[in-house]
Amino acid sequence: MQADKLSKYRPCPAVPLRDRSWPSKTITVAPAWCSVDLRDGNQALRQPMNIAQKLEMFELLVEIGFKEIEVGFPAASTIEYDFLRKLIDEGHIPDDVTVQVLTQAREPLIRKSFEALRGVKKAIVHLYNSTSTLQREVVFKMGQQEIIALGVRGAEVIREEAARFDGDIRYQYSPESFTGTELDFALEICEAVAAVWEPSPERPVILNLPATVEMSTPNIYADQIEWFIRKLKQRDSIRISLHAHNDRGCAVAATELALMAGADRVEGTLFGNGERTGNVDILTLALNMFSQGVDPKLDFSNINRVTEVYQRCTGLPVHPRHPYVGELVYTAFSGSHQDAISKGMEALENDKSGLWAVPYLPIDPKDVGRSYESIICINSQSGKGGAAYIMNQEFGYKLPKKMRPGFGRLVQEETERVGSELSAKAVLAVFEREYLRQQQGGIRLKQFNVVKRHVDQHEEMSVANIEAVVEVDNRELHLQESGNGPLDAFCAALRRDAGLDFALTSYHEHALTEGSSAKAVTYIEVLGSDHGEAWWGAGIDTDIIISSIKALLSAINRMQAGR
């Protein structure tokens, strides 16, 4: 930045709160949530939602579990008036959900808001007027007492209308741009407005303290909230609500700290959609709590549905790296990350504690309706752990640890060849091509039989006689041999009759499928006569003996081909 521009700006003043208590507190219970997607979120769209889209969004919010939903500013917009009437007249509002309407402190707007609410069972009327120093001096050119009078008169009109209203009306007041308002003045106007409504513990008033423009670091917002709560009269009759915007990119942090400072309620939107840089993201806030073992009282167990409805109704995309939700947030491309995740998932299978503890994954993707399929994706940055994880999670292949580096190199070569990310099926195709398919010019198994097995109870060993036919360089070779087992006998026959010099150094097997026709997969490592590089092979068959013979030939063929 140009140094001469700095003189235009000044830091937000600190709050005189020396013995602040919020830094030592933690969030242990969820706040009351109020969605403002249909108001703040809607007014931030290039193309505002139509009534059908609004209804779909409302129903989604109800499904998620919001008990308070701000449905709009019915006195200022025909479509918002008509939408509220549709909700009421067609019975879309569940008995346990309270709708909230916004109105400025202007008598005609207040009276029209109540007209729009006729027939509703429960509602919050949300009154606001601007209180900040800048707004008073530049926009309204009014002094503090004039601003207080405006707010108080609005509260009186609301009280008059509520007295004639059949439904249950609750009251909310917002000193707009609270964070740009002198704290003592914000307290004075809030108490003056609340006094008109005569709050009680049984019928508390909501005082909503918005960071209409995020002007400071999150700790200062928390200080402002704690200062306000300490000075507030009738605290037991007031619900302190937060409404943070995201101009500095810190709305989530600011809200979390302000909750620690004693706030009771949070207004925000899904995915943080709001004017300028947005409102606080309730979804992120809720899942942050969830990740700490706190019940957020909102249901995001099907996050893909939430995303899909949101995108369809608003026309806005969800960033692929959006916390908890984005397409790539549970995806690792880095080899070291993939290896750590793979090992963490393996350890989790044997952990009986029930606690989630996997590197790089703060929550279990399945808890929000995501699958493990996209946790690890394969590109040129990927390593051995990622390819092995894909093979295990998607296809059931549990590659031995010593086999993984070689397979990882093959997969990396493939990503560089195609120049893009590999799908899980493409990773499997590399495995099948390199390990399972017979190679040209190699040794092919034509026939294999175990002729006889002898078991010696005293020596705790068995002897097997085998017969086999293999094709070597387009000629058939008939093998007969005995050994400790069929595989040992086959190795001996290959050394003697095919002139091969190798040592079998590792053997692993496991069932690949379940049931009476289950297939077994075998992994074998061989070392050539020069005792240099080790070579792995794999084989699959319903007969475990045949799968081991196939794996041996796969390893030998790869060794001979230098592949």
Annotated binding site for Mg(2+): 40, 243, 245, 279
The answer to whether 34 touches 265, Cβ cutoff 8 Å, is yes
Q: Distance between CA 176 and CA 172 in Å, rounded? A: 12
What tokens were used for 214?
Answer: 């995020």
Yes or no: say if 230 and 222 are a contact pair by the CB < 8 Å rule. no
Instruction: Tell me how crowded residue 516 is: count the other CB atoms within 10 A of its CB.
Output: 5
What is the rounded CA–CA span in Å between residue 253 and residue 510? 48
Q: How far apart are CA 178 and CA 290, in angstroms?
A: 29
Helix (H, G, I), strand (E, B), or coil: what is residue 563?
coil
Measured at the CA of 385, the angle between CA 503 and CA 365, to 5 degrees, comes to 145
CB 290 within 8 A of CB 303: no
CA distance 197 to 156: 8
Residue 329 per-residue DSSP state: T
Instruction: Answer for the pair 88, 120: CB distance below 8 angstroms, yes or no.
Output: yes
* Rama region for 25: left / alpha / beta (φ>0; ψ in -120 to 50; rest): beta
Q: Which residues are annotated as a binding site?
A: 40, 243, 245, 279
For residue 332 the two structure tokens come to 């690792």
The alpha helices in 210-334, defined as continuous H runs, are 218-231, 251-260, 282-291, 303-314
| DSSP classification of residue 332 | B
Helix axes 303-314, 51-64, angle to 10 degrees: 160
What span, in angstroms and rounded, lies between the C-alpha atoms of 411 and 429? 10
Q: Which residue has the tokens 């475990």?
A: 544
Q: What are phi and psi of 420, to 5 degrees?
A: -155, 175
Contacts of 502 (CB under 8 A, 6+ apart): 491, 494, 495, 526, 527, 528, 529, 556, 559
Eight-state DSSP code of residue 276: T
Q: Are 64 and 34 in contact, with CB atoms under 8 Å apart? A: no
How many C-alpha atoms does 8 have within 13 Å on its Cβ side? 5
